[in-house]
Structure 1
Amino acid sequence: MKVSLIVTTYNWKDALSVTLNSILSQKIMPFEVIVADDGSREDTKEVVDSFILKFTIPLIHSWQEDCGFRLAASRNKAIAKASGDYIVIVDGDMYLPPKFIESHIKNAKKGHFVQGGRVLLGEEVSENLLLKGVRPCIFSKGIRNRHNMIDSLILSRIFTTIRNNDRSTRGCNFALWREDAIRVNGYNEAFEGWGREDSEMVVRLLNAGLSRLYLKFKAVGYHIYHSENSRAQLQINNDIYLKTVSENLSFCKKGVSEYL
């Protein structure tokens, strides 16, 4: 199984460096890494170029012009470029523990997509990670969802469940088969601005007959602290989401097919 790891980013090169460094420490490396860049400045390209020299696997920089928050289009372009069978999508402001990719591989199942968990790092522990490279541990101060830091096969078998709804959707740690992403036409590019694009994607995958594996105590990402994105588009985006729900849609009009 070939895993394409997609890392979303926008103008935060220091956080992206943390993510890329954590990928280098994976016990099992993905087949390739694609940085889905929503129009960052040249300094982000310089960071990616510097890591290309360190990676023994392909590291691809998928950049699009900065025309506002267009996360859906950025992800779709990366999915179109992916040559792996299985796609794991994370945000470029996350530290990935060494067993992250290994755990996703072991939990990949046909007919399923995976919602992974996250740990929310506070300001101080985030600053230590960004500036000093100090990796957070379960005893670090200022951590939310601390219990998610436990990596346990036994607990994972007990608490991992099938949840065929869009509750607790986290686009920052999400995995699916590439063929399933294409089947529903990827992310809906009707969404611009933050909010609901991940939940709407989950609904279409469920409507296509897939099941959502809600993975616990494995493949958890650590989210670096940052201020929240603007909610200005939330109501418009919520209307798009509600249309998908009410009409039982499994395919969006404008999606990854634009780039295949």
Structure 2
Amino acid sequence: MTSELIISTYNSPRALLLTLLSVARQDVRPGSVCIADDGSGPETAAAIAAVQARYPDLPIRHVWHDDRGFEKNVILNKAIATSDADYLIFIDGDCLIHPGFIARHLEVARRDRFCSGSLIRLDDATTKSVTEVDVLEGRVFDIGWLRRSGALRRFTAWLKAAPLPKPVLAALEHVYPVGRNWCGGNGSAYRDAILAVNGLDETMKYGGGDKEFGIRLANSGVKGRHLRFTAPLVHLDHPRGYKDPEKIRAHRLKIAEARRTGKIWAEAGIRPPEPAA
């Protein structure tokens, strides 16, 4: 089984650099890395080139399109369509992944399953303080460091930092009462399963696109498996100027429709609609 890690990004070169450094120190690296770039400027390309120079044995490809506003689903579909890998793992370019992250996603991969994990969120001040050394030496996943940063105020956040043996955490995942929704910042599935539902809905912008995609996967027979506590990921804080309440309300209607109708296929997805006769 070949694998690729798809990282979505937009004009956040510092965060992307830190993310890629966390990829470089994985216990099991993905077969390749794809940067799904929603129209970033040259600083992002420079950050990718810097990591490639430091880690020439880490294959990275850069999929880019013009900046037309928030079109994450569009660039993700382009990355999926051009991938040669059997299994795809998705994170955002402001996420630092635990050394065992890729290995865990691959360990539980099944053709009738998608996997979806959780995030440990850093605040703005801690995000600005994170250094390359913090990532490379693993401090960002140290329980004491995370506690001092204020990221582990809740018991569930502490569990997300993987403080217990993996078999214990895996057992907790099976019984923990949480929805098996797709999380684009920590998710994975076989590429064939994604193509079978025509990828993500490109008409959906920020707010709900992940959930709608996961519902269609489940409707197709690919059910969710939550990696809530065994695939740790630290999320760097950032503003969300692209958040649009009106679009979010419209997306909720699409989510409800997908649930109600058992919808599988995205009309505006990887394969464009057939032209009218």
Off by >6 Å, runs of 4+ in structure 1: 162-165
- Residue 14 of structure 2 is aligned to residue 2 of structure 1: no
Q: 1:128-185 CA distances to partner (integer Å, 9 max, x unpaired)?
A: 2157646322112220423211153222331223999956542200000000000000
**CA RMSD between the two structures:** 2.1
Find the counterpart in structure 1 of residue 82 from structure 2. Answer: 81
After TM superposition, the structure 1 = structure 2 runs for residues 92-171 of structure 1, keeping only pairs within 5 Å, are: 92-130=93-131, 133=134, 135-136=139-140, 137-140=142-145, 141=148, 142-144=150-152, 145-150=157-162, 152-161=165-174, 169-171=182-184
Structure 1, unmatched stretches of 5+, are none
In 1, distance between residues paired with 2:80 and 2:177?
23
% of aligned pairs identical? 27
In 2, distance between residues paired with 1:44 and 1:23?
16
Instruction: Give, as a single letter, the amino acid of the residue that structure 2 aligns with 1:215.
Output: L
Find the counterpart in structure 2 of residue 246 from structure 1. Answer: 260
235, 240, 246: which one pairs with 1:223? 235
Moved more, 167-176 or 113-122: 167-176
Q: CA 1:63–1:162 in 2, change beyond 3 Å: closer, same or farther?
A: farther
Q: CA 1:70–1:231 in 2, change beyond 3 Å: closer, same or farther?
A: same
Contact 2:117 2:226 in 1 (8 A): yes
Which of the two has greater helix per residue?
A: 2
In 2, distance between residues paired with 1:133 and 1:173?
21
Find the counterpart in structure 1 of residue 68 from structure 2. Answer: 67
Q: CA 1:162–1:83 in 2, change beyond 3 Å: closer, same or farther?
A: farther
Q: CA 1:165–1:224 in 2, change beyond 3 Å: closer, same or farther?
A: closer
Contact 2:116 2:180 in 1 (8 A): no
* Local SS of the residue matching 1:255: coil
In 1, distance between residues paired with 2:170 and 2:35?
32
Q: 1:63-97 CA distances to partner (integer Å, 9 max, x unpaired)?
A: 01110101110110111121111000000001111
Contact 1:6 1:90 in 2 (8 A): yes
User: TM-score, normalised on structure 2?
Assistant: 0.86
Instruction: Give, as a single letter, the amino acid of the residue that structure 1 aligns with 2:39.
Output: G
Shift of 1:127: 1.8
After TM superposition, the structure 1 = structure 2 runs for residues 11-90 of structure 1, keeping only pairs within 5 Å, are: 11-53=11-53, 54-90=55-91
Find the counterpart in structure 2 of residue 213 from structure 1. Answer: 225
In 2, distance between residues paired with 1:36 and 1:228?
18
In 2, distance between residues paired with 1:74 and 1:165?
29
Shift of 1:228: 3.4
- Residue 257 of structure 2 is aligned to residue 235 of structure 1: no
* Local SS of the residue matching 2:43: helix
Q: CA 1:146–1:125 in 2, change beyond 3 Å: closer, same or farther?
A: farther
Contact 2:33 2:61 in 1 (8 A): yes
Greater gyration radius: 2
* Local SS of the residue matching 2:144: coil
In 2, distance between residues paired with 1:72 and 1:37?
11
Shift of 1:239: 2.2
Structure 2, unmatched stretches of 5+, are 273-277
Q: 1:35-87 CA distances to partner (integer Å, 9 max, x unpaired)?
A: 00000111111111222222313200000111010111011011112111100
